[in-house]
Chain A
Amino acid sequence: MPATDDTPRAPRRRGAHPLARFLIRRILLALLLAWGITLVTFVLTNLVPGDPVAANLGQRALGDPAIVAQWRSQHGLDKPLWEQYLLHLQGVVHGDLGTSQQSHRPVSQDLAEFVPATLELAGAAILVSLVLGVAFGVIAALRRDRLADHALRVLSLIGISVPTFWLALVAFYVFFYRLQITPGSGRVDAALGSAPAVTGLQTVDALLAGRGDIFGSAVGHLITPALVLALYTIGLLTRFTRSAVLEVLGQDYVRAARAKGLPGRTILFRYVLRSALVPIITVAGLAFGSLLSGTVLVEAIFAWPGVGQYAYKSATTLDLPAVMGVGLVVGVVYLVINLIVDVLYGVIDPRVRLQ
């Protein structure tokens, strides 16, 4: 996009490209927040009223002061709190998130197994949300105050009002148990086996292995949970797209394009959507957070072997290292996604990086 006369020129400081400086600033900010996330999970772990020694050692070991002291020093519990935090940070940097009390395996190992399933589910859901949410929002804006607009308003408000965990249960009951039109729980029919793991995403792996049957089954298993998960974000994006498009429709350059006699379709796609998409992408990044939240409530119902179900099991059994590991990893994933969105935002809209 060529700079017009009224756009401020980039101040040329230290010769760095404005986009590069923008990226560096965003990445530093993200690193700072990532550090903050480790601090939050550490503080919360130490808030726990329970004694970690009692939780981790057996009855007989607890009776022996020598074993207790050894366990405490082995886990750094005899050191001052700040030193414990440094140890914790060191562990996190090296991928050590503690041991799950439930699976008796390292939390990082558990999470590595479950993250791809959740990313596949949340990825499918954000795709559906973007397509449907933006389409509905554009329709509502173009048909403002007509029947379609009002209907979409009510529907999107219902979408953001439905408790996800309840909808998951209802969908499972109706479509699987009663109508038997969707496959049951899990990611793929067990009878088909599974494609060799390359990405950990069943659909992608099946395609890579050229197994159409597994791909079909994986998509079938994905549809219902992804739609249930997406309903909230569809509602959110519909509402947001509507107001973003309405805002752009009122701009002078759109009026000028219309006065010039450009066809409506050209105006919509080249002028309106292009500039409305910038804020929509930001909201989609934030909406990804509610999708990650939703997986905790949805995966448990559909027996989807992802981080959400792991979080649900850990929360209900009060398996604290696992819960904190989930908090840490999901927080960082969310951070990275929003970093990507921020960068996209800066790349698409030059005004942002000149601020």
Chain B
Amino acid sequence: MKWDPLARKGLTGRLPEAWRQPLAVVGGVIAIVWLVVALAAPVLAPHDPLAQDLPRLAAPGPGHWFGTDQLGRDILSRVMHGARVSIPLTLMLVALSVLVGGLLGACAGYFGRWVDETIMRVADLVFAFPTVILAMVVAAALGASLTNAVLAVLVVAWPAYARVTRGLVLGVREREFVLSGRLLGFSAWRSLRVDVLPNVTGPVLVLATLDIGTALLLLSGLSFLGLGAKPPSPEWGAMVASGVEVFDSWWVATFPGLAILTVVLAFNFLGDTLRDALDPRTARAIKERAL
């Protein structure tokens, strides 16, 4: 893959067509709805998400459309407020992974030698574990809390970005415009920042969009295991876990699970379309089809 400054025009040129795809539109609409819910939950939610003032385990019906849980809290309000917990944390988590992984990967690719060896061998080590297992082990070692769960997911998430960024930087490093910058006396840091990084951000951002769903699944999975959010926080994974205890009251676990599903699905729809639009292999396939 060659990403040079001139190709950036092509990148923005191809995007609008991608957004005309129905999957991307559906994903975008769902994502926007959830963002609005997250922002306006205090206004939109019919009840206080923590108040235990309703009948316990009431089935969905007027007044409490998603039913109530075993402590008499309104599930609809908790799911809405849960968006304020899960969505910002997930976005922050992915941003941190991009930052940490991207920076380490860029250093590995740019400086090579022992820097490359050290960083990439650590990344290999993380890849040697199944993700949930490693995240679970890290979260358990750090102690159960939502912050530690975020850290644990960060530990398993950064190597993917490091690998991709490293590969892209390796492809750009020897190009003339980078070498001429170095000859003009740019420091390594300036060369990396001005010449190299702008050329690798595109694919890394696609990866990040694709990763938002996975990150939310991991984070809520840790909470489900009791290694993330603590009660009474209306975190979706923890809410599903509380539904396990009363599983004949199906609504307690069903609605928070659907919330996770729809958010992950929205970002996967978006990411998948974005990848198709930007992946040169798919682009080639489309070109061939047109012939």
**A interface residues with partner B (beta carbon < 8 Å):** 33, 36-37, 40-41, 44-45, 47-49, 144-145, 153-154, 157-158, 160-167, 169-170, 172-173, 177, 243, 246-247, 250, 289-290, 292-294, 296-297, 300-301, 311-312, 314-316, 318, 320, 323-324, 326-327, 330-331, 334-335
Q: A169 and B220: CB pair below 8 A?
A: no
Closest to B216 in A: A163
**B interface residues with partner A (beta carbon < 8 Å):** 23, 121, 124-125, 128-134, 136-144, 213, 217, 220-221, 224-227, 237, 240-241, 243-244, 247-248, 250, 253-254, 256-257, 260-261, 264-265, 268-269, 272, 281-282, 285, 288-289
Q: A330 and B261: CB pair below 8 A?
A: no
Q: B247 and A161: CB pair below 8 A?
A: no
Chosen A-B contacts, 10 in total, with CB atoms closer than 8 Å, are A36-B124, A37-B128, A44-B137, A162-B261, A165-B224, A167-B257, A169-B240, A173-B250, A320-B140, A323-B141
Q: A33 and B124: CB pair below 8 A?
A: yes
CB of B245 to closest CB in A, whole Å: 11
Closest to B133 in A: A330
Contacts A170-B254, A320-B141 hold; do A153 and B128 have CB atoms under 8 A apart? no
Residues of B within 8 A of A243 (CB): 281-282
Closest to B128 in A: A33
Q: B225 and A334: CB pair below 8 A?
A: no
- The complex places the Cα of A163 from the Cα of B250 at a distance, in Å, of 16
Q: B281 and A312: CB pair below 8 A?
A: no
Q: A161 and B265: CB pair below 8 A?
A: yes
Known contacts A48-B141, A160-B268, A331-B130; 17 further A-B pairs (Cβ under 8 A): A36-B121, A37-B129, A44-B141, A47-B141, A157-B269, A161-B217, A161-B265, A162-B261, A289-B129, A296-B132, A297-B225, A311-B136, A323-B137, A323-B140, A327-B134, A331-B134, A335-B128
Q: B136 and A296: CB pair below 8 A?
A: yes
Q: A161 and B264: CB pair below 8 A?
A: yes
CB of A48 to closest CB in B, whole Å: 6
Contacts A48-B141, A247-B281 hold; do A166 and B133 have CB atoms under 8 A apart? no
- The complex places the Cα of A335 from the Cα of B133 at a distance, in Å, of 13
Across the interface, B213 reaches (CB within 8 A) one of A47, A161, A334, namely A161
The interface residues of chain A, by DSSP majority, are classed as helix
Residues of A within 8 A of B285 (CB): 246, 250
Q: A163 and B281: CB pair below 8 A?
A: no
Residues of A within 8 A of B261 (CB): 161-163, 166
Q: A157 and B137: CB pair below 8 A?
A: no
Closest to A39 in B: B125
CB of A101 to closest CB in B, whole Å: 12
Across the interface, B23 reaches (CB within 8 A) one of A154, A165, A311, namely A154
CB of A349 to closest CB in B, whole Å: 19
Closest to B27 in A: A157
Q: A49 and B288: CB pair below 8 A?
A: no
CB of B244 to closest CB in A, whole Å: 6
- The complex places the Cα of A293 from the Cα of B130 at a distance, in Å, of 6
Q: A165 and B140: CB pair below 8 A?
A: no
Residues of B within 8 A of A320 (CB): 140-141
Q: A315 and B128: CB pair below 8 A?
A: no
Q: B131 and A293: CB pair below 8 A?
A: yes
> Closest 9 interchain pairs by CB?
A166-B257, A293-B132, A289-B130, A327-B137, A161-B265, A161-B264, A44-B141, A293-B130, A316-B226
Across the interface, A334 reaches (CB within 8 A) one of B128, B227, B254, B264, namely B128
CB of B156 to closest CB in A, whole Å: 10
- The complex places the Cα of A162 from the Cα of B263 at a distance, in Å, of 10
Residues of A within 8 A of B288 (CB): 250
CB of B160 to closest CB in A, whole Å: 12
CB of B188 to closest CB in A, whole Å: 29
Q: A166 and B253: CB pair below 8 A?
A: yes
Q: B130 and A41: CB pair below 8 A?
A: no
Residues of B within 8 A of A169 (CB): 240, 243-244, 247, 253, 257
Q: A157 and B129: CB pair below 8 A?
A: no
Closest to A47 in B: B141
Across the interface, A315 reaches (CB within 8 A) one of B129, B226, B247, B264, namely B226
Across the interface, A163 reaches (CB within 8 A) one of B240, B269, B272, namely B240
Residues of A within 8 A of B144 (CB): 318
CB of A232 to closest CB in B, whole Å: 9
Residues of A within 8 A of B254 (CB): 170
CB of B123 to closest CB in A, whole Å: 11
Residues of A within 8 A of B23 (CB): 153-154, 157
Which of the listed residues A33, A41, A161, A330 has the most CB atoms from chain B within 10 Å of its own CB? A161
Residues of B within 8 A of A49 (CB): 143
Contacts A163-B261, A301-B244, A316-B226 hold; do A292 and B124 have CB atoms under 8 A apart? no
Q: A172 and B247: CB pair below 8 A?
A: yes
